[in-house]
Chains A and B, each alone.
Chain A
Amino acid sequence: MLVVVAQRLLREVSWGLKMRVSIGAALSMLDLATDLAVIFDYFGRAETRKYGWGLLWMVGGSIFLQLVFVYVQNKKQKEGLAKELLVVLVGCKPAMDAFRVVGGAHMKEHHLVDAKTELTATKCIEMALESVPGESSIYT
């Protein structure tokens, strides 16, 4: 009972969540864009090309793992699967996840996890494979 009341209260004052999730999504997409710009710069000169390849592999790995996660999440319903995979490929997954969490999307029967867990998993993959190696690579 207490948990239900608390959950309802938290749902009603979700402006904080909306702001946090939306800014986080915008930053994630901006991060991908700036990483791609740096990769482009690295490929421009012979002495930095190896760092460009390293960064490209990490960004590619992040996108690959996100694709695998989206496939596992939606594999029981093939209809929307192509659209979900396309969203990852064009780099709009953070926005899509944020939209779902902010909109209070309910977990569908065929889903493995709910929208908030999906957002958390995607963020962890992004951080581990894109942001962290990207930082080290640019510093180096």
Chain B
Amino acid sequence: MLVKNNHEKKRAVASLLISALATGFASATISLDIDTDPEKRAKQPSFYGYVPDGGQKTVIYSVMVINSALLLLLRSFSVALLMQVKKRYFLMYVGGDMGIYLLQKVLRGDIHYWGQPPGAFGFLVGVLIRVIIKVVTDVSSLDLREGMEVHGRDDTCVGGCQR
């Protein structure tokens, strides 16, 4: 919105689209790899397997890329609108969402799920990993549905509903 020069505008739009596409590709690739992992499918056949093994795999993958890219564009646009109205609204929204999420993860003892060392350092690393994964899963279709990976029982909250 602040970009006035036409050349700068083109570069900004190109950056937006490439960022969205890169995120779409990355999250769809990770989700596909998780779902088609033979070990995961062997252990939990009723949970993994939404991507069919036949020719439809490419179609599903393409839709996942588009879905992630569009979701990122939509979320970023809504965040930008919030910031334009009042920065405090944006901070309240992000802080509230992330704060409640981290609080329930701490209370449930899920912070050490990702295999980090025990103690205060491991706790901080766990919080950092949780923040990164929540940001990514909220704005893309990255599929981390299993147990304590992202939401668990919290799957009805904002991020869970979007996915």
CB A119 to nearest CB in B, in angstroms, measures: 9
Query: Is residue B38 contacting chain A, with contact meaning CB distance below 8 A?
Result: yes
**In the bound complex, do residue A139 and residue B77 qualify as a contact, i.e. CB atoms below 8 Å apart?**
yes
- Residue of chain A at shortest CB distance from B34: A120
Tell whether A124 is near chain B: CB-to-CB under 8 Å.
yes
Cα(A24)–Cα(B29), bound, Å: 8
Residue B18 is within 8 A (CB to CB) of chain A in the complex: yes
B133 within 8 A of A: yes
B42 and A2: CB pair below 8 A?
yes
**Chain B contacts for A48, CB-based, 8 A:** 2-3
| Residue B157 at the chain A interface, CB threshold 8 Å | no
| Residues A128 and B26 in contact in the complex (CB < 8 Å), given A135-B19, A139-B77, A140-B84 | no
Report chain B residues within 8 Å CB of A134: 15, 19
Interface centre among B20, B42, B136, by most A CB within 10 Å? B136
How far is the CB of A98 from the nearest CB of chain B, in Å? 10
Segment 58-95 of B: residues with Cβ below 8 Å from A: 58, 61, 72-73, 75-77, 79-80, 83-84
B33-A116 in contact (CB<8A): yes
Q: Is B11 an interface residue (CB 8 A)?
A: yes
A80 contacts B by Cβ under 8 Å: no
Q: Is B32 an interface residue (CB 8 A)?
A: yes
Chain A contact-residue range equals: 35 or more
B148 at the binding interface (Cβ < 8 Å) = no
A6 at the interface (CB under 8 A from B): yes
Whole-angstrom distance between the alpha carbons of A112 and B112 in the complex? 17
Assess whether B106 is interfacial by the CB under 8 Å rule: no
Residue-wise, chain B 15-38 has the 8 Å CB interface mask toward A (1 for contact) of 110111111011101101100101
Q: How far is the CA of A37 from the CA of B11 in the complex (A)?
A: 7
**Ranked 10 nearest A-B pairs via Cβ:** A139-B80, A135-B76, A6-B38, A34-B15, A27-B22, A128-B132, A123-B26, A128-B135, A31-B22, A131-B19
A-B contact pairs, 14 of them (CB 8 A): A16-B57, A20-B32, A24-B22, A35-B19, A48-B2, A120-B33, A127-B135, A132-B75, A134-B15, A135-B20, A135-B72, A139-B77, A140-B2, A140-B83
In addition to A31-B19, A138-B12, A140-B1, 8 A-B residue pairs with Cβ atoms within 8 Å of each other are: A6-B42, A34-B15, A124-B133, A135-B72, A139-B16, A139-B80, A140-B83, A140-B84
